């Protein structure tokens, strides 16, 4: 089977919601990103595991549209946002997409000089307008949250994302805004380094219980009725992590964790984190997990304050399917969130199915995937920062 046929098969299975053939390897990631971007193919590559440094972005056609995501209610981003939008529309002749609520900021809507530029924008509303086939690439202004938000807007193929560090941490935002014009120009010209950040495909199946009252011909209620159930399915694409926790309850969280249909353990504690390699440096690392480079095909399972001395975080292959359910003897419900959003209650009978998605987020690198990652570890998390040990001279050795 050719690679194209393999990807087409994965698309078919994703759309049909059928159970994927079990494999320890994750699904082959789609290598087309939005309408015009794709990954540059390396004809000399003979290994299935590609060298991260060889992952390059190229364009099938010159990009014409760009989505600009700005952190809401941050006055420090107003001037960079305006400068970037003027540059994209006036100098680069790009079609600029901006979320409608961004333009409702009085600091933008009341600016008469900027008003002529905003009239050229294409606007959209989250969860109401589909822009998946309109945007060629994305520019984020803010912190890591802007990249997570960009991911949430695209439930299938994601356009390439260029993230500028204008927030607090900036682990996922490698670009500095000082030289944005030359950097954006270089991306538009193509052939930039990218890292494919895998996402989790999450399906939440909720059991809805309803009482059906029995009514006679005159409309009089005869009994309270029988309880009937119906199932409601929700799907999400998650870049960082799925967090299942005990919510406001004072009891331990008590959830069963299945891997490929087999019960592997019961989590008793504050909860559990299921994260991507990208998410391993977020909530998971704060809970004691290891940090995984985003090119590693894996899923990390990290307990939150487990009531056990031997429950350590584990890494499982990207191709497995995880399932989380409330234990039958759980004293309380649980709560789940996806990249910190869409928080909802999980009751008895509900289930959360998690596996690796074939729609990654193509994140544009400042240099390359390896150097950018270690630079972020050093600058943002101060990884292995320690005072250097003094040199031992020959005189010291005598003592």
Residues serving a catalytic function are 144
Q: Kindly report each contact of residues 115-122 with a partner whose C-beta sits within 8 Å and lies 24 or more positions away, as own/partner.
A: 117/82, 117/85, 117/86, 117/89, 117/90, 120/89, 120/96, 121/85, 121/96, 121/97, 122/65, 122/95, 122/96, 122/97, 122/98
Q: How far is CA 254 from CA 209, 267, 333, in A?
A: 22, 6, 9
Q: How far is CA 182 from CA 76, 82, 176, 179, 358, in A?
A: 22, 17, 11, 6, 32
Contact 342, 236 (CB under 8 A): yes
CA distance 299 to 229: 33
Three-state DSSP at 189 gives helix
User: Roughly what angle, to the nearest 10 degrees, separates helices 180-189 and 78-86?
Assistant: 50
Contact 339, 357 (CB under 8 A): no
Contact 20, 355 (CB under 8 A): yes
Please provide the distance, in angstroms rounded to a whole number, between the alpha carbons at the two ends of the chain. 70
Give the closest residue to 87 by CA, choosing from 66, 106, 69, 103.
66
Contact 235, 203 (CB under 8 A): yes
Give the closest residue to 334 by CA, choosing from 379, 267, 395.
267
Q: Residue 229: CB partners within 8 Å, gap ≥ 6?
A: 207, 208, 209, 210, 349
């Amino acid at each position: 089977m050719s690679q194209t046929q393999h990807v087409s098969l994965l698309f078919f299975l994703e759309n049909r919601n059928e159970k994927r053939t079990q494999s320890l390897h994750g699904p082959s990631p789609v290598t087309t990103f939005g309408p015009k971007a794709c990954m540059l193919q390396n004809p000399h590559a003979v290994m299935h595991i590609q060298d991260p440094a060889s992952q390059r972005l190229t364009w099938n056609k010159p990009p014409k549209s760009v989505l600009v995501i700005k952190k809401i209610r941050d006055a420090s981003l107003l001037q960079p946002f305006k400068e970037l939008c003027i540059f994209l529309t006036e100098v680069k002749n790009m079609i600029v997409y901006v979320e409608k609520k961004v333009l409702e900021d009085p600091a933008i809507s009341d600016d008469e000089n900027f008003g002529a530029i905003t009239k050229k924008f294409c606007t959209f509303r989250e969860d109401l307008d589909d822009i998946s086939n309109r945007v060629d690439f994305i520019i984020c202004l803010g912190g890591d949250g802007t990249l997570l938000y960009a991911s949430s807007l695209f439930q299938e193929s994601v356009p390439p994302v260029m993230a500028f560090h204008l927030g607090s941490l900036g682990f996922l935002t490698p670009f500095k805004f000082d030289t944005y014009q030359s950097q954006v120009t270089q991306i538009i010209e193509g052939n930039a380094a990218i890292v494919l950040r895998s996402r989790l495909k999450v399906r939440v199946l909720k059991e809805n219980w309803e009482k059906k009252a029995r009514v006679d011909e005159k409309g009089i209620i005869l009994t309270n009725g029988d309880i009937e159930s119906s199932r409601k399915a929700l799907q999400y694409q998650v870049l960082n992590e799925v967090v299942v926790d005990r919510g406001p309850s004072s009891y331990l969280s008590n959830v069963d964790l299945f891997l490929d249909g087999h019960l592997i353990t019961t989590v008793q504690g504050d909860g559990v984190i299921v994260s991507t390699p990208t998410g391993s440096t977020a909530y998971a690392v704060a809970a004691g997990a290891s940090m995984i480079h985003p090119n590693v095909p894996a899923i990390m399972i990290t307990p939150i304050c487990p009531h056990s001395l031997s429950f350590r975080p584990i890494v499982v292959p990207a191709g497995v399917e995880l399932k989380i359910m409330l234990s039958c003897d759980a004293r309380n419900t649980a709560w789940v969130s996806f990249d910190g959003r869409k928080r909802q209650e999980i009751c008895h009978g509900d289930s959360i199915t998690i596996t690796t998605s074939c729609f990654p987020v193509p994140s544009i690198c400042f240099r390359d995937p390896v150097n950018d990652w270690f630079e972020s570890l050093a600058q943002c998390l101060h990884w292995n920062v320690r005072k250097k040990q003094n040199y031992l001279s020959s005189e010291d050795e005598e003592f």
